[in-house]
Amino acid sequence: MKIPVRTLGAAWLGLCLSMAVAHASVLITGTRVVFPAQDGEVTVRLTNDADRPALVESWVDAGDAQSTPDRADTPFLVTPPLFRMEAHRDQSLRILFTPGHQALPADRESLFWLNVLEVPPKPSTANAGANYLQLAIRSRLKLFYRPAGLTADPQKAPDTLTFELARDGAGYAVTVHNPSPYHITLTRLRLHADGTSYAGQSGMVAPLSDLRVALPGLTMPPPAGSVVEFVCINDYGAAVTFQKPLAPR
């Protein structure tokens, strides 16, 4: 049975989204995009690490993981939106902000997502008659729109987090409060209490908001002096470790 290659469409995109473990040949420089409002545009560099060309399509969405270029409604324009990328070549994407499209908060960051969809070429005619399955691969990066006029230092934002003990059903959790205007990504969180560590799930705390993180296994209030150790990702994609005291409930 031959599985034919079809044109891009909703069904094709749905297939590629389900194959998150597939290996991408088109690599993106960086793990996130920070968009300073005063710059008006940012550049993201791509590299085709494969021995074959690829068709690349890019767009920005507002948080819908099932988004497609025709349905994404954001104040950003990516150029070029669709192009052929030759083997072992680089390509720059320009992301431009389009004023007047929609008003964004001026006192905090706004979160969007950059999508880079890679479609490999159809197999050569030498393989005609052979069975094959061809997959498109989509990479999705956080894009932080940072309005002008924010005076707080984004690199110091994780140190402003506070952690408070909270009930969580029969157990306990920590409520993470973010008083800063920046999104803070937590890749690891552990409560160290009385010689035992309790691990919580990773997550992201939105600006001026709270995030509740359950601590499985913690069934009694921890003693005074317990410490929360957490790892955050900074603007450059580096992991930085912090420690803060746990506030009593």
pLDDT of res. 109: 98
116-152 burial, b at 16+ Cβ within 10 Å, e below that, comes to bbbbbeeeeeeeeeeeeebebbbbbbbbbbbbeebee
Domains with residue ranges and CATH for the chain: 10-146 (2.60.40.10), 154-247 (2.60.40.10)
pLDDT of res. 170: 92
Query: Strand, coil or helix: what is 154?
Result: helix
Residue 210 reports pLDDT greater than 90: yes
pLDDT of res. 99: 82
Query: Strand, coil or helix: what is 9?
Result: coil
At 128, the pLDDT band (50, 70, 90 cuts) reads low
Length of the chain: 249
pLDDT digits (tens, 9 = 90+) for 159-199: 999 999 999 999 999 999 999 999 999 999 999 999 999 99
Distance CA 105, CA 34 (A): 16
172 - beta bridge partners?
167
Residue 38 φ/ψ, nearest 5 degrees: -65, -20
pLDDT of res. 68: 93
Q: If you search the block for the tokens 């104040």, which residue do you land on? A: 75
155 contact partners, CB below 8 Å, separation of at least 6: 234, 235
Q: What is the DSSP letter of 66?
A: T
172 contact partners, CB below 8 Å, separation of at least 6: 165, 166, 215, 218, 219, 220, 221, 222
Q: Which amino acid is at 23?
A: H
pLDDT digits (tens, 9 = 90+) for 25-53: 899 999 999 999 999 999 999 999 999 99
pLDDT of res. 134: 67
Nearest of 192, 141, 130, 142 to residue 163 by alpha carbon: 192
- Mean pLDDT of all residues in the chain? 88
